[in-house]
Structure 1
């Protein structure tokens, strides 16, 4: 059952409706890819929302852990978009039936918020606990968040449109995505898995099991991979088992 929280990570940036909520996604790999990406993008949005909501209320003693979370989130999003630009999108556009440049608008959208995302990461990486200011952090988020949210929503429609690939090329479309998924899985296991699972919501849109992982993996992530930076994962909106929970630092906004 979803928990009732007046201030949670489903805002202020609105989450994206996943295609599977209203449409069939098993009929074409492009639809599957679009749906998977929608779930990933919502995890990104929950992360940024959680950062924004808690930023002004972080006690001095907890700033270092919080900024590690912020820097980790920014690095994950940055790496995701670099992988798209260098491997995923070029791979899709080499598939017969998908025209060259079909995903170029999405890359152009990256440029609208990449500088702001970099500034956020630099602030999180270089700021000391004494220097930290939640208002400044919120201003940095405000400089790029609208463009980023628009991009994350628009890209789902673009990926859905890849159903235009020639008949018989569906398996190649899926292979490009799966190869990139495998590449992304090489990221630091003490950072990305515990963070991403904590940015999921298993109750979203009536219930879901994204991301699909082997049985028992959540326990491995929670008790082994998540231990090194456990202090930073306190700020996540869900636990490692993808169950929503109260954000710990909301001041009087609870």
Structure 2
């Protein structure tokens, strides 16, 4: 794998706060920032996987599966940011007592939203015979820089919540986490588990799940769209593997 391009570029992954902060700091804002960093890195591995593989997908079935992956990734990222704007950030600001505390992060959403919508539409509407890697790459290149900047900048914003009511902040986060868990189980869990890397920065167990969850995802939920999950950079257990079309 060392000689092949992988999903850790061209848009660089984010260092998780637990690598640079005092690990004894257990304020919930640190936990929230850490969890969000793992989620953001999953998003970056997704856009990198799309970018690395797009030029080398040629057969009709491969294109069909790849476009579903593109659509699924863009839909998941879009849902994540809508949930932040409508539920998570207002919930945090209510506890903090400052309207607009996270306004800068919301403004960044608007910077990449048009390109994200283009990508979602491309994955949803383009027929295999219309597939043009150059068009797809242009959309991703438009999206990537602003998205990467936002995903990085949001982490210190979340860490800046440490002076405030930690348990209340955590309750908001957990409610949003539960809401995110309502997405299509045949799409989001298989994709997200394959976008994490349990070996990243010395190892991690993100996301925390009940026992046997990975088994259920792998053998039950992932089967419906298994062709699309070929393009993921890791297996269901979060172990890195070569990108087949890189």
Shorter-chain TM-score: what band? over 0.9
- 5+ residue gaps in structure 2? none
- Per the alignment, in what secondary structure is the counterpart of residue 235 of structure 2? coil
Q: How far does residue 60 in structure 1 lie from its aligned partner after superposition?
A: 2.3
Given that residues 88 and 176 in structure 1 are in contact (C-alpha distance below 8 angstroms), is that contact kept between their aligned partners in structure 2? yes
SS at match of 1:79: helix
For structure 1, list consecutive stretches of 5 or more residues without a partner in the other structure.
none
Question: Cα distance, 1:144 vs. partner?
Answer: 1.7
- What residue number does 1:100 align with? 99
Which residue number in structure 2 is paired with residue 39 of structure 1? 38
Q: Distance in 2 between matches of 1:51 and 1:122?
A: 15
Q: Whole-Å Cα distance in 2 between the matches of residues 7 and 208 of structure 1?
A: 23
Deviation of 1:109 after TM superposition, in Å, equals 0.1
- Cα separation, 2, equivalents of 1:156 and 1:82: 17
Note if 1:210 corresponds to 2:209. no
Q: CA deviation at 1:210?
A: 0.7
C-alpha deviation, 1:4, in angstroms: 3.2
Contact 1:5 1:246 in 2 (8 A): no
Q: Which residue of 2 aligns with 1:23?
A: 21
What does the per-residue CA deviation read over 1:87-111, in whole Å, with 9 as the maximum and x for residues that have no partner?
000000001x442111000000000
Work out the CA distance in 2 between the residues paired with 1:191 and 1:203.
23
| Distance of 2:189 and 2:77 partners within structure 1 | 13
Deviation at 1:5, TM superposition (A): 5.0
Q: TM-score, normalised by structure 1?
A: 0.94
Matches of 2:145 and 2:217 in 1, distance apart?
32
How far apart in 2 are the matches of 1:27 and 1:5? 39
Query: Contact 2:45–2:195 at 8 Å: present in 1 too?
Result: yes
Moved over 6 A (4+): none
Match of 1:177?
Answer: 173
Are residues 1:9 and 2:7 paired?
yes
* Aligned counterparts of 1:5 and 1:17: Cα–Cα separation in 2: 23
Which stretch shows the higher mean deviation, 239-248 or 55-64?
A: 55-64
List aligned pairs for 1:28-107, cutoff 5 A. 28-61=27-60, 62-95=62-95, 97-107=96-106
RMSD: 1.1
State the shift of 1:6 in Å: 3.0
Q: Deviations over 1:125-180 (max 9, x none)?
A: 11111110111110001112100000000000000001121xxx221110000000
Name the CA distance, whole Å, in 1 between partners of 2:77 and 2:197.
18
Check the 8 A contact 1:98/1:164 in 2, yes or no.
no
Between Structure 1 and Structure 2, how many residues are aligned? 244
Within a 5 Å distance, the mapping from 1:228-239 to structure 2 comes to 228-239=224-235
Deviation at 1:68, TM superposition (A): 0.2
- What is the correspondence of 1:124-135 to structure 2 with a 5 Å cutoff? 124-135=123-134
Q: Return the alpha-carbon distance in structure 2 between the equivalents of residues 119 and 11 of structure 1.
A: 22
1:176-230 deviation line (CA, Å, top 9, x unaligned): 0000000000000000000000001111001111111112111100000001000
Q: Name the residue aligned to 1:157.
A: 156
